[in-house]
Amino acid sequence: MSLSSTPLPHSVIVTRLRAAGCVFAEDEAELILSTAADPAELAVMVDRRAAGLPLEHVLGWAEFRGLRIAVDPGVFVPRRRTEFLVDQAVGLIRPADGPAVVVDLCCGSGALGAALAAALGRVELHSSDVEPAAVRCARRNVAGAGEVYEGDLFEPLPASLRGRVGILLANVPYVPSEDVELLPAEARVHEPRVALDGGDDGLDVLRRVAAEAPRWLAPGGHLLVETSERQAARAEETVARSGLRARVVTSDELYATVVIGTRPGTTGGCG
């Protein structure tokens, strides 16, 4: 859409977005202008963003590790810091050993699995989420790369995966319940609470994943979970108590913290 065809000049859009509190108003205006198909859609998109809807929900997509990931309203928006988790997973896989068996729990939009499949070219990908809207979105994003199941954590996965998983991604909710109300409105109002709330100490879902992970991981397989810096020590202990060898890796640039748990033993799929 050309700028001359729209009743909303770039400067007017920027002014509106700034007035609504958008810190990166100029960048957001450019993205909205480049995405809108016509002036009518542009006006609606600007109104929605000015009303506080997350930019990614306004655009209908989020950029994640170089991919354009479809993100529907009500679906958790993939964070840039989570690219670090995918980077760690890529580094743990030996492509020469053949396609890795990958499970993505709490998959949301499916961004992690889609990014890992794009990076590796060949994976056997299985994803799951309890939210129907997320499952519909993920199925679009991983189309052709894997299967997406609706259900709670491991429950909907094929039993044939037990003992075969080389990489288990689990971007579980880890915000303590009492802190959810402190989150920015974009997350608190427009994203599903089940994707944010990790229970009293933020580790409830992690405990459930860690307890089951050894039964699903292949020998030498890896569990990767994102957590916060202040929870890292307790999250590492939780993973270690399940019988996995646990360690914490961090990225200062992305302000990201990931716990990696490895099932003892060796396998032909992952190191």
Confidence of residue 68 (pLDDT cuts 50, 70, 90): very high
Residues 6+ apart with CB under 8 A from 155: 128
- Residues 58 and 20: beta-carbon distance below 8 Å: no
Average pLDDT over residues 7-21: 89
Taking only the tens place, the pLDDT of each residue in 171-223 is: 998 878 888 888 777 778 777 888 877 788 989 999 999 999 999 999 999 99
Handedness of CA 172, 178, 180, 183 (dihedral sign): negative
pLDDT of residue 96: 65
pLDDT of residue 3: 44
Confidence of residue 59 (pLDDT cuts 50, 70, 90): very high
| Dist CA 163 CA 59 (whole Å) | 40
Q: Is 148 left (phi over 0), alpha (psi -120 to 50) or beta?
A: beta
Taking only the tens place, the pLDDT of each residue in 72-102 is: 988 999 999 999 999 999 999 877 667 899 9
| Dist CA 123 CA 145 (whole Å) | 7
Helix (H) or strand (E) holding 257: strand 256-262
Q: What distances in angstroms separate CA 229 from CA 11, 78, 188, 244, 255, one per listed residue?
A: 40, 19, 21, 20, 8
